[in-house]
Amino acid sequence: MRLRHALAVMAAALLVPLTVQPAHAATGLHVSGTKILEAGGQEFVMRGTSHAHTWYPTRISSFQGIKSLGANTVRVVLSGGRWTKNDTADVTNVIGLCKASKLICVLENHDTTGYGEQSGAYTLDQAVDYWISVKAALQGQEDYVVLNIGNEPVGNNAVTPAWTEATSDAIKRLRTAGFEHLLMADAPAWGQDWKNEMRDNAATVMAADPKRNTVFSVHMYGVYDTAAEIVSYLDAFEAAGLPLVIGEFGFNHSDGDPDEDTIMAEAQARGVGYLGWSWSGNGGGVEYLDQVTDFDPARLTSWGRRLFNGANGIAATAKQAAIYGAVVPDTEKPTRPGTPAASAVTGTTATLTWDPSTDNIGVTGYDVHNGTTKLVSSTGTSTTLTGLTPNTSYTVHVIARDAAGNLSDASATTTFKTTTSTTTCTSTYKLVNSWQGGFQGEVAVTCPSGTTGWKTTLTYPAGVTVTQTWNASLTGTYTFTNLSWNASGGTFGFLGTWTGSGTPPTPVISTSGS
């Protein structure tokens, strides 16, 4: 991951459309206009996430976990020496893991992150040195592998050579070295291109590629916190006829709050690829960007649920690459969820939790039923039921759903009973007047907003009788209830007689609401 800095609003200028045709026939994955195509001509739209392999090399189950939630692409973090170098054997193994999970493999060199601003960052020229050093692992993998030349290759400071020249030179060196892969070029300014350097010079960079086989990647974090900024940037590349992917984005960040809903909706509408950041293992204050907890696909975070299972999310929109063959229709239902446990039961609410279901592709949600009535749907393994009826028994079960609409067997049932709903009301007694053998009392009842009724009981010693009341209904000897027009509180009065002498006795008051 990286640190972010204060960012400016993008300018409105558009790119000049690129009309130059490919100089040579493409091998494997390749661009055509704004689209990415496979070798057979099928359109491929990236839908996936990033996995920090270079820091977590033993977490190899992550590849299958990412696939299980519906992704068709994984962006793999590698290092050529800024961190522990991922050598040829390791890169070969990573590609094998991608292929075994039927994922397109975007390999990115993270060494370049923040060059010119962050200490220790590598140049794009050094990134090319790394790719050449592991070329043996990459040759022949053009159907499966995209080379993301260098992650966020320039920070916010000016560098020499600048992004356009440095990226063009890197692409030329890779082509001279014999790489025919689809190349991915990250934007400068920590990937966010807030100065529009990539946007305004992408055509120049594409022209520098003898294969005309480069896709541009923008990272959308705090710069892209409004729909207008997102749409403007995507419009520019669309108008220029240049291919773009959203190579990283999140639902929140230290530099601002990106509009992930618009990012995902616009990407889906335009056929633009997107890759969320990131699977698991984030640190440095951005742990909230983890999509699963401890690399476990069964423990989706709120960000993970949004990215994989939400509107325009991965599960609903990703299509497996054609190179892996026809997708077999998913007819396997999820496993039976755990028995729901009820807690925090009140008169109108209850919290339910249950153990997760598993699925061959991925569970996308759960439905909670009371008998044949569906009460609520949830993307996680807990939910709070609302609007329940007080003093009522509920027998609930849970059914899991997957992306194909397959339903699990119902969980075992749990029965709980809501409490008798009461609302805390307060009341104050006042002696209005008294005379020999009689008195007038008054009670002010105050209840919280939403109260639909109240009841006040007075406790008197022997010898007191209530003979008349107003603004309330008298039940029994000393119990008063609201009328239709003062159900949320008010003041009622009464007359009483008593057999004692001196000041009439003060009652003990008890008031409840509903």
Residues with a known catalytic role: 152, 248
Nearest Cα to 499, choosing from 472, 474, 462? Answer: 462
DSSP for 289-303, written as a single string: G-SBGGG-TTSB-HH
Q: Could you list the beta-strand ranges (E) of 371-482.
A: 373-378, 382-385, 393-402, 414-417, 423-424, 426-435, 438-446, 454-459, 464-470, 473-475, 479-481
262, 227 Cβ separation under 8 angstroms? yes
How many residues make up the chain in this entry?
Answer: 514
For the sheet with 489-498, list strands across it. 426-435, 438-446, 489-498, 464-470
DSSP-assigned letter for residue 398: E
Residues 6+ apart with CB under 8 A from 190: 2, 3, 4, 5, 113, 114, 152, 155, 156, 219
For the sheet with 473-475, list strands across it. 423-424, 508-513, 454-459, 479-481, 473-475
Q: For residue 468, give both structure tokens.
A: 């008349």
Instruction: Give the phi and the psi of residue 427 in degrees, each rounded to 5.
Output: -140, 150
Instruction: Give the phi and the psi of residue 36 in degrees, each rounded to 5.
Output: -105, 130
- Site of tokens 């029965």: 415
Strands 214-220 and 244-249: parallel
Nearest Cα to 479, choosing from 433, 514, 512, 430? Answer: 512
Work out the end-to-end distance of the chain between its first and last CA atoms, rounded to an integer number of angstroms. Answer: 52
Crossing angle of helices 227-240 and 197-207, rounded to 10°: 20
DSSP-assigned letter for residue 410: P
Q: For residue 8, give both structure tokens.
A: 């400016």
DSSP-assigned letter for residue 460: -
- For residue 507, which amino acid is it? P
